[in-house]
Amino acid sequence: MALIALDRLTKQFPGVTALDALSLELEPGVIGLVGSNGAGKSTLLKILLGLLPPTSGSATVMGLDTAREGTRVRELVGYMPEHDALPPDNSATELVAHLAQMSGLPPAAARERTADVLRHVGLFEERYRAIGGYSTGMKQRVKLAQALVHDPRLLLLDEPTNGLDPSGRDEMLALVRRTGTEFGIAVIVASHLLGEIERVCDYLVAIEAGHLLSAAPLATFTGRTGVLAVEVEDGSDALAAALIARGIETRQDGRAVLIGLDGHGPADDAYDIVRDAIVDLGLPLVRLEHRRRSLEDLFRDRPEDEPAVRPS
């Protein structure tokens, strides 16, 4: 049974079609959800939570139809909203324990799960202080904790790194990854940041103007391009010339010298030719790697014969 199945899911509001005949099946894992701004992404999340009925078509979460069994779906799903949603004068412990009971946990179990889950998300002494005094990072953790406290089978995270500085983002992404792998909970991460999705997710769903743009394992989008990039600290021009002299086609891209554009990758001995050219010139080799495609290619306007290249 698929984790999530959408069957020609359509949602129309007056004047705008938010989702247009979306069909796909998702297996458990860490799934990235990218969408253009507009109604699509949040509408989809609301439908998956059973909070919005489809105009036509259906959405099934863990075998339950979201339109008919919304309550049951919400018992099994945890949701971390994008916006601020925390009252300032409760402590994290009070709020999460209260919400645990709202999810149907008996009071004692609610308290115990709260204590455990707050530890897992990394809130320690601060959990007894009022939320109003928390930093953005701590607030995001509380939001994640309340989504986890009732042990959901599926987590929906809407922009979990919103407002976090780089180290906060790192920690949150690591936490999300742990949740998907160690905790064994299926996760859907909705995000605008393709770099994050590449880091954390194994699967991607991309929606544009209500249509499904793409739904595939992440590896499909970040595959090798058959281009080898060589970076030397200085002397790139000399290197390029030396390689051409040895019969290897090159092209320059900023600091890097690119080799092998036929889509099949460089010939086996090309690596050694490159190495030897570098040694003969006494150049400092800084980088040698296959260029990979990136998720961004999905969102570029111009159709690309050469995919936009980016170091992996």
Partner 1 sequence: MTPEPRPAPETSVRDVPSPPQLPTTASSATGSIFDLGYRGYEGPRLGRRHAIYALFVYSLRSAYGIGRSGRAKIVPIGLAILATLPAVISIAVRAFAAQAGAGAEVERIDPIRYDSYYGYVSTIVMLFVAAQAPELLGRDQRYHVLSLYFSRALLRTDYVVAKGAAFATAILILILIPQAVIFVGLVISNTDIVAALGDNVGSIAPVLAVAAAIALLLGSIGLAVSAFTPRRAYATATIMAIFIVPGVVSQIVLRSTTGGLTRYIVLAAPEAVIDGVNAFLFGVKPSSREVVRADLAGELYLVVVIAVVVVLLGALARRYQRIEA
Partner 2 sequence: MTAGSSTTTSPRAPASSGPAIELSRVSRWYGNVVAVNEVSFALGPGVTGLLGPNGAGKSTLLHMMAGLLRPSQGDVRIHGRPTWHDPAIYREVGLVPEREAVHPYLTGWQFALLNAQLQRLPDPAAAAAKAIQTVDLGDVQHRQIGTYSKGMRQRAKIAAALVHEPAVLLLDEPFNGMDPRQRLHMMELLRSMAAAGRTILFSSHILEEVERLAENVLVVYAGRLAASGDFREIRRLMTDRPHTFTVRSSDDRRLASRLVASPSVFGVELVDGMLTVRASEFAAFTVLLPRAARESGITLFELRPTDESLESVFAYLVRR
Residues that bind partner 2 (CB under 8 A): 34-38, 135-137, 163-170, 192-195, 232-233, 271-272, 275-276, 278-279, 282-290, 295-296, 298-301, 312
For 115-154, letters b (16+ CB in 10 Å) and e give: eebbebbbbeebbeeebeebeebbbbbbbbbbbbbbebeb
Judged by CB under 8 A, the residue of 25, 88, 174, 234 near partner 1 is 88
Is 14 among the residues that bind partner 1 (CB under 8 A)?
Answer: no
- Angle made by CA atoms 220, 223, 227, in degrees to the nearest 5: 155
**Subset of residues 172 to 191 that bind partner 1, contact rule: CB under 8 A:** 182-184
Considering only 2, 21, 76, 288, the residue that binds partner 1 (CB under 8 A) is 76
CB of 203 to partner 1, least distance (A): 19
Rounded to whole angstroms, how far apart are CA atoms 44 and 36?
A: 13
104 binds partner 1 (CB under 8 A): yes
User: Among 81-89, 199-207, 236-244, 303-311, which window interacts with partner 1 (CB under 8 A)?
Assistant: 81-89
CB nearer to partner 2: give 34 or 118: 34
Report what 297 binds from partner 1, partner 2, none; CB cut-off 5-8 Å by kind.
none
Nearer to partner 1, 87 or 254 (CB): 87
Decide if residue 42 touches partner 1 (CB under 8 A): no
E-assigned strand segments in 144-240: 154-158, 186-190, 203-208, 211-217, 224-232
In this chain, which stretch among 75-83, 160-168, 220-228, 268-276 interacts with partner 1, using CB under 8 A? 75-83
Whichever of 120 and 224 has its CB closer to partner 1, that residue is 120
| Cα 39-43-46 angle, rounded to 5 deg | 155
Kindly indicate which of the ranges 100-108, 207-215, 253-261, 270-278 contains the residues binding partner 1, using the contact rule CB under 8 A.
Answer: 100-108
Contact 50, 125 (CB under 8 A): no
Taking residue 278's Cβ as centre, other Cβ atoms within 10 Å add up to: 20
Nearest to 72 by CA among 103, 99, 101: 103
Give me the least distance between CB of 288 and partner 1, in Å please. Answer: 39
Within its chain, how far is the Cα of 30 from the centroid? 8
Establish if 107 lies at the interface with partner 1 (CB under 8 A): yes
Task: Find which of partner 1, partner 2, none residue 36 binds, CB within 5 to 8 Å per kind.
Answer: partner 2
Q: Return the residue of 7, 10, 55, 98 that touches partner 1, per CB under 8 A.
A: 98
Report the distance separating Cα 16 and Cα 120, nearest Å: 41
* 237 contacts: CB under 8 Å, gap ≥ 6: none
Structure tokens at 68: 């008919």
Give CA–CA dist 154/189, Å, rounded. Answer: 11
Tokens read off for 38: 């507009």
Q: Does 51 help bind partner 1 (rule: CB under 8 A)?
A: yes
CA angle 203, 200, 174 (to 5 degrees): 150
Q: With 0-12 CB in 10 A as exposed, 13-18 as middle and 19+ as buried, what is 250?
A: buried
Asked if 99 interacts with partner 1 (CB under 8 A), we say yes
Indicate which single residue of 43, 66, 93, 146 sits in contact with partner 1 (rule: CB under 8 A): 146
Q: From the list partner 1, partner 2, none, pick the one residue 234 interacts with, judged by a Cβ distance below 5 to 8 Å according to partner type.
A: none
Task: Tell me which residues touch partner 1 (CB under 8 A).
Answer: 1, 49, 51, 62-64, 71-72, 74-77, 79, 81, 83-90, 94, 98-99, 101-107, 109, 113, 116, 120, 130, 146, 150-151, 153, 182-184
